[in-house]
Every structure is written in C-alpha cells, then in structure tokens.
Structure 1
Amino acid sequence: MASSFYQVVFVVSLCAPIVCGSPPSAPSKGSPHPSSTESTPASQVSSSNTNFAFRLYRRLVLKAPGQNIFFSPMSVSTSLAVLSLGARSATKSQILRSMGFNLTGTPESAVQQGFRHLVHALSVPGRDLRLRMGSVLFIRKELPLQTAFLSDVKRLYESEVFPTDFSNSSAARRRINSYVEKETQGKVADLIQELEPQTAMVLVNYVFFKAKWEKPFNPQYTSRRYPFSVGKTTVKVPMMHQEEQFAFGVDPDLNCSVLQMDYRGDTTAFFVLPSKGRLRQLEQALSSRTLKKWSHSLQKRWIEVFLPKFSMSTSYDLETVLPKMGIRDAFDKNADFSGITKRDFLQVSKVTHKAVLDVSEEGTEAAAATATKLTIRSNDGSPHSVCFNRSFLLLIVDRATETVLFLGKVENPSKV
C-alpha cells in the first residue's frame, strides 16, 4: 500500500589523533521542558532552527546546483546541539552562533532547554502520525568521558550511549549501520561506508516519519506519463490529481504560489511553486518570517491540484559545508571538546546527512505566524488550478511546535 515516508540520518564522527587536555567549563543545565512552544526557550529554538534551515538550504543549493535537495534541518540542528554540550570556548560559541543563537541574549541553558522540549514533543506517539526521532552515541570503550557530558546527553536528549570497539572498524561499522537500519525500519541501509582507525565517537541522529494525507489522492486519477520541465527539456512522471479545498495563496512579493496540504495528525506540507525564472529570488528570500506569513495568510478554497508522485534519496558530507557557515574550529587542531573527555584531543572528522523521501497518493505536512494576506488570482466561481510541473519547494512542518522537520527542492522527480 502506498505511503509517505521521510527518513533522515545525521552522523558526526570524532577522531582522537593525539593526546592533550584542558579544563572544561561548567556544563549547562536544562530545566524541565516547558508546557508549550509559547515559552521563550522553545519558541526561540524553533525560530532559530527555521532560519538555520534556510541558510543551510542555500549552501546545499550552491554545492549541488540543479539537483534535488532534501534534508531534515531539525536532525542537523539537534545533532549540533548535542555536540555543543561537549564543546568549549570558541568551538562551542561557533556551533551555537552558526545555529542562530546569540549567547549574550540567550544563555546556553535556555537553548538546550528549548531543544529538550522540541525533542520530547516530537517524540510523543500519535494515532495518525508516526514520527520517531532520536540520538545515539557510539563511543570508544577506553575513552574516559566527562560525567557531566554523559549525564546531559541522556537527560536532555534521551540519548542511548553504546561503548564500541573501534579497533575492529568493520564490526563497529556493521553495528552502527544495523542500528540505523532498524530504527528507520529498513529505509536507511549502509549509512556508514568506512570508519577511520582513530574514531573515538560516532553521534547518530535519526528521524523516521510516516503519515497519510488528510485528503488523499485517488490513484485512478494519477496520470502515468505527465511532462515535467527540467531545464530546457522535459521528463515523464506520474502526476497525481485531485480537486479539493486546500489553504492556498499567491505571494506577490516573492512571485510564487503556496499550497498547504495537511496530514492526519499535527503536521502539514507546504508546496511552493515559483513563477518561471523566479526560483533564485524565492530561495534568497526564505526566512522564518516568510514561513509565518504563509502559514497565517493562506485562505481555504477549492483548488485543482496536480502533484508528482516521486521518491528520492540524498546524501551530504556536511564537513565541507558547516565551516562556511561559521563552524570552523570543530574540524581542525583548534577544536576544543574537553567537555567530552579531558584526556584526549578530539576533532570532528566527518558529518554525514542522509535522507529518503517518498510522496504518494496517500501522504505529507505544515506551520507559523503574521497577518499579511496573500492574494488568489482567479475568479471565485471556479477552482484555481495549480500544477507542479516544474521546480518547486517542499516544507514539512510540525504545527504544534512550529518546527521545520524537512525541507527540499524537487528539480527532477524522475531522479531517485
């Protein structure tokens, strides 16, 4: 039976090539998670995460122009937040600043408290929505860990910690890959291709998401060979079709149409179709304010929707991207992870992010805030028709926490 799946895995690998140490600063202490996202820490984290998502998106577009983009900003930022618990001095401040946090105005304890709330809120099981998120650390057996770091990753992020024998790199790789494959229900296999002999710790963050549309498409109306524009040519794709009431609007400032389709449960998808030749303008303008404007301005009306049925898989080596976003010291000899271990010098050697996406007749998700109204360019008497037959953006948002779970761009839906 066709379904919608979104699986994302983020891996951070740390190496311990030499021995040294320096005293750690006091670990941050998060307080119990707030009761709603209106509380300051959670709302600040959510807003910063959204802006971080769009900054990372623009970097990935530069790295892979003309390619499909798909990733989980929540997975990446949560992994960085976990990593920051063990970072000290400039290494810590670079990580948190790159994520959009001003430590002068927002203490680290508030940042960690906000993440704790989001991770907990997103992990609550729902009847109509399967969303599982978690962090796990595989740590070299003989590595002497700081007690505070171990305590904080378990308390704040409910992370599992597994002592691992990295001297047998192939066995360690199989163990990590097997764990990830199980947690993503077989969707992400062979995540790690190789491990360096000096590996001291592997941090894995995974997200598994499966949902059904609130208003599913009828497979009988799916056209199997519909033209989709890719550059100056076209490819044939299965195009789903339905006429229903959806939240919809045209943003005249950004020259794009915005369609919101809800999933069962508390999640929503935004499909954003830029006018021809306006994709770059749209990408440069994306921000948390933009998303809030859309989510609070779209109006429900009858819409005839044409949307591709597609699957894609992406993989990114973020160790080449994150330094350009300000996280520099973590990757070189200036790294200070003395909050993880006093004895050994650690630095980040590899950051891998993998994502798998399936969109079908049965499923996808949305969220945000502002009072600007968007226009609808059609007569009220007939349904407005929107056809996603060229490059478009996709955002999946958890409404309760106003968190962007997934973000992507579909350039070629025929490319797996």
Structure 2
Amino acid sequence: MKRSVSDILCSKMVSSLYGVLFAVGLCAPIYCVTPANAPSGYTHHSSAKSTPASQVYSLNTDFAFHLYRRLVLETPSQNVFFSPMSVSTSLAMLSLGAHSVTKTQILQGLGFNLTHTPESAIHQGFQRLVHSLTVPSKKLILKMGSALFIKKELQLQANFLRNVKRLYEAEVFSTDFSNPSIAQMRINSHVEKKTQGKVVDIIQGLDLLTAMVLVNHIFFKAKWEKPFYPAYTRKSFPFLVGNQATVHVPMMHQKEQFAFGVDAELNCFVLQMDYRGDAMAFFVLPGKGKMRQLEQTLSARTLRKWSHSLQKRWIEVFIPKFSISASYNLETILPKMGIQSAFDKNADFSGITKRDSLQVSKATHKAVLDVSEEGTEAAAATATKFIVRAKDGPSYFTVSFNRTFLMMITNKAIDSIFFLGKVENPTKP
C-alpha cells in the first residue's frame, strides 16, 4: 500500500539534520625560501598564549592529528587529505544549537575542557579564527565560509540565527526541501561556486525528511615564494608505494635554501616551504618503516618543536607533482571520537528549533589538493630566478620524497592546520 508524503512525515518523530562538513584546498605549489631571520615558523606572542583564540588554535592542531589517526584507520594504505579547520569550525558552529550531552560531546570531542574554558571563550576564539580568514590578501587566496540551507517551514531560534551570523559569518538560505533534487542542485551549485569548481556534487541523495544542510568550505590557492622551474621536473621518477610496489610520477626538483631539520627522536626529515603571503607547507618524510611511529606521536607540541628548530640551509629537494582528493562520511567516524549523541535519536538540538526534533543524518567532508611547479604567474618569470650554480657552490643536503610522506599547510601567525594529508600513492587522484 502506497503511503502519502504526509503519512511518511507524520510517522517520523525525528526530522533529519543533514550536516555537510567539507573543504577544498587548491595549492598551486611553489618553491620556498625562508626569510633571512632565524628559524622560521609560527609567530608566538607570550601575551597571547592564554587568549581564547590561542587555545582554539592549539586544540585545533591536536584535533587535526586525532582525526587524522582515525581516518588512517578507516582508510588504510590510501591517500588521506582533509581540512581539520573546516571540520572543527563546522562542529563548533553546530554546537551553538546543541544542548545537554549533545553539546558536551561536540565540544569535548574538539578537545575542550569545559571546566577550564567557558563556552563563550570557545566561540570567541573561533570568531577570531574565522575573521582572520576573511581578510583579503594580494599574495594568496584563502577563503573559508559557512552556509545554512534551512527548510522553509522550520522555525529557528532567533538566538541561534544571530550567533551563527555574528560569530561564524554564516550565510543563511531558506530552502524548499519538498523537491529534494532541486534543493540538492542549489546546494551543490553554491559549493561549486565557492570552491571555484573544485568540489562538485558533494550532496547526494537528499530526501523529504531533510530539514537543514550545513555547509562549510575552505579554498586555498597560493604561489610558492620561488616557483619550481618546470624544465627541471623529471617526467618519470620511481615512487615507492607500500613496501615493494613502485609507480612512476613527475618529480619536481629544486636546489635552494630551505628551512629544514632532522628529528632524530621521531626519525624523520622535516622541510618547510613558504608560500607568498603568510602560509607555508610542511613536508615530513619518516624513515623507512617509521610512518606508524610518527603518526602516533603527532601533536601540537610536535609541530611547535619543528617550527622552532628548523634551520635555513642549502637543500636539493625532490617532490612529486600530484593531485589527490578524498571524501569521508564523518557520521561514521566522529562517533568513534566521542561525538555520538548528535547522530542518534538522543540528539538535542533544541537550541536550533524547539518545535522539531533534529539529529544529524549525514556529515560529508571532501578535500582536493593540487601540487605543481607554477603559481598563477607566467613560468617565464620564474626561470630568471632559478640560477644553476657552479659545481664549486655551497654543499647541500639531498632529500627525496619518493615514498609515503605527510604534508601540512599552515599559517605563520595561527597555530592551526588548514590542510593535513598523507601521500601514499601520488598517482591516485
């Protein structure tokens, strides 16, 4: 017997909150030289260490590595790439409408100790973080934004609407979910536009029970401080996948001064490459068979140690030219990190709407990364900056990223990771 739409809706005590957490990173890679002063890295101000923003930045880094370890378990022997900043910002924004256990689990899952850090301070820290990413820069593009697509009939709490706009600068769109395919098209079009075409069709399978879709996007495009010269890229270079298999990849090549260090304790090489502007990338190459040991020890403290200990020196570096992407269903991953209530029938989002019971039915995250020689400027300009030095030039250390390595994109002034990934096989998009 066929059931009408009204029968279906009436039979459901819980409306669905379809949470979409996603990010995209576009790096037009760039070769870097560290500024002439001392070891480069994050800018730390002693007076800022106890501010809400500094707490958010540091805990975001620990959350990034916590989520990374979980993604590695979920997708063994595969490339991993995501934006921890996008995920944590989306969860923090969602917590504005959560109450009781649901709120506690979200904020504790992000790493906050609620007896030491008031909720207001948490949102104040995220507010500063979000605002810092909306300041335009001529040297790089870094944009993060949030949007709520809300069912027309849903009566939202005024306080929730006010806070998501004020603290997270979110856009809010009244949406007709009675035609799921049209609503899906509208949301996907918004995402595609905001990410300059890099993320398409992120929403799949909306249904009549969908009450709200939460979208967060982050887009990054930058040029290396000194681009790689394409003529020096080796078209086919062996890259070790796993313990025995080998694939061939285009391998970029550069000889210059880089911020570089060897972490004897963790048995890895750490290379910092600067982008024009405040962003930088860390490439981390563990010793053979030492990746798991490295992954287990990653923390905000580890990153700070590297930032302060790297020294500028002559390096010959080989880095693959590659494009990778990854998608994750966070509704199956976050509960394993303690954020459970939001995804089950016990969810309490009465801070969003009192009239309807909501729960998160879906949380999708998608990230894309492109690494190549050039930025957006013509390659001809970079050729004049690349000098082939005489044989009697300075001695240099050679490091080749020809096996599984980690990559992080961060900011010199913010202790937060924009993007984090593991390149297991650079030939798999």
Query: Shorter chain as normaliser: what TM range?
Result: 0.7 to 0.9
Tell me the SS of whatever aligns to 1:100. Answer: coil
Task: Output the amino acid matched with 1:393.
Answer: L
Q: Does 1:347 align with 2:359?
A: yes
Question: For 1:162-311, what aligned pairs fall within 5 Å after superposition?
Answer: 162-231=173-242, 232-311=244-323
d(CA) in 2 for partners of 1:17, 1:237: 52
How far did 1:362 drift? 2.4
Query: Partner of 2:110 in structure 1?
Result: 99
The CA RMSD measured in Å over matched residues stands at: 1.6
- Find the structure with the greater CA-based Rg: 2
How far did 1:119 drift? 0.5
How far did 1:197 drift? 1.5
Query: Partner of 2:27 in structure 1?
Result: none
Q: Deviations over 1:125-163 (max 9, x none)?
A: 101010110000000000010000000000001100001
Residue 125 (structure 1) aligned to one of 136, 139, 154: 136
Tell me the SS of whatever aligns to 2:402. Answer: coil
Q: Does 1:158 align with 2:169?
A: yes
Check whether the contact 1:121–1:401 (CA below 8 A) recurs between aligned residues.
no
Task: Output the amino acid matched with 1:292.
Answer: R
Question: For 1:323-334, what aligned pairs fall within 5 Å after superposition?
Answer: 323-334=335-346
Check whether the contact 1:17–1:346 (CA below 8 A) recurs between aligned residues.
no
Query: Partner of 2:417 in structure 1?
Result: 404
Tell me the SS of whatever aligns to 2:269. Answer: strand
Check whether the contact 2:266–2:293 (CA below 8 A) recurs between aligned residues.
yes
Residue 399 (structure 2) aligned to one of 363, 386, 389: 386
Gaps of 5+ in 1: 1-15, 21-35, 365-379
d(CA) in 1 for partners of 2:48, 2:158: 30
Task: Output the amino acid matched with 1:184.
Answer: T
Check whether the contact 1:37–1:400 (CA below 8 A) recurs between aligned residues.
no
d(CA) in 2 for partners of 1:247, 1:410: 21
How far did 1:215 drift? 1.8
How far did 1:403 drift? 1.5
Identity %: 71
d(CA) in 2 for partners of 1:19, 1:135: 25
d(CA) in 1 for partners of 2:198, 2:394: 45
Q: Does 1:18 align with 2:20?
A: no
How many residues of Structure 1 are paired with residues of Structure 2 in the alignment?
371
Q: Deviations over 1:332-361 (max 9, x none)?
A: 111000000001000000000001110000
d(CA) in 1 for partners of 2:400, 2:48: 35
Q: Deviations over 1:56-106 (max 9, x none)?
A: 000000000000000000000000001000000000000000000001000
How far did 1:38 drift? 4.6
Task: Output the amino acid matched with 2:181.
Answer: S
Q: Does 1:313 align with 2:328?
A: no
How far did 1:398 drift? 1.3
How far did 1:313 drift? 1.2
How far did 1:216 drift? 1.1
Query: Partner of 2:387 in structure 1?
Result: none
Check whether the contact 1:37–1:401 (CA below 8 A) recurs between aligned residues.
no
Query: Partner of 1:42 in structure 2?
Result: 53
Check whether the contact 2:14–2:359 (CA below 8 A) recurs between aligned residues.
no
d(CA) in 1 for partners of 2:14, 2:222: 47
Check whether the contact 1:69–1:314 (CA below 8 A) recurs between aligned residues.
yes
Q: Deviations over 1:306-329 (max 9, x none)?
A: 000000111000111000000011
TM-score, length-scaled by structure 2: 0.85
Question: For 1:352-367, what aligned pairs fall within 5 Å after superposition?
Answer: 352-362=364-374
Check whether the contact 2:49–2:55 (CA below 8 A) recurs between aligned residues.
no
How far did 1:39 drift? 5.6
Check whether the contact 2:254–2:317 (CA below 8 A) recurs between aligned residues.
yes
How far did 1:279 drift? 0.3
Check whether the contact 1:17–1:345 (CA below 8 A) recurs between aligned residues.
no
Gaps of 5+ in 2: 1-10, 16-46, 377-392
Tell me the SS of whatever aligns to 1:321. Answer: helix
Tell me the SS of whatever aligns to 1:202. Answer: strand
Q: Which 4+ residue blocks in structure 1 deviate beyond 4 angstroms? A: 36-39
Q: Structure 1 residues 19 and 318, CA, compared in 2 at 3 Å: closer, same or farther?
A: closer
Check whether the contact 1:213–1:263 (CA below 8 A) recurs between aligned residues.
yes
Q: Structure 1 residues 396 and 19, CA, compared in 2 at 3 Å: closer, same or farther?
A: closer
d(CA) in 1 for partners of 2:262, 2:227: 23
d(CA) in 1 for partners of 2:374, 2:398: 20
Task: Output the amino acid matched with 2:404.
Answer: S
Check whether the contact 1:314–1:355 (CA below 8 A) recurs between aligned residues.
yes
Query: Partner of 1:85 in structure 2?
Result: 96
Query: Partner of 1:135 in structure 2?
Result: 146
Tell me the SS of whatever aligns to 1:124. Answer: coil
How far did 1:122 drift? 1.3
How far did 1:233 drift? 1.1
Q: Deviations over 1:173-198 (max 9, x none)?
A: 00000000111111111111211221
d(CA) in 1 for partners of 2:375, 2:224: 4
Tell me the SS of whatever aligns to 2:133. Answer: helix
How far did 1:212 drift? 0.4
Task: Output the amino acid matched with 1:275.
Answer: G
d(CA) in 1 for partners of 2:289, 2:195: 38
d(CA) in 1 for partners of 2:214, 2:48: 27
Q: Structure 1 residues 393 and 17, CA, compared in 2 at 3 Å: closer, same or farther?
A: farther
d(CA) in 1 for partners of 2:413, 2:327: 28
Tell me the SS of whatever aligns to 1:97. Answer: helix
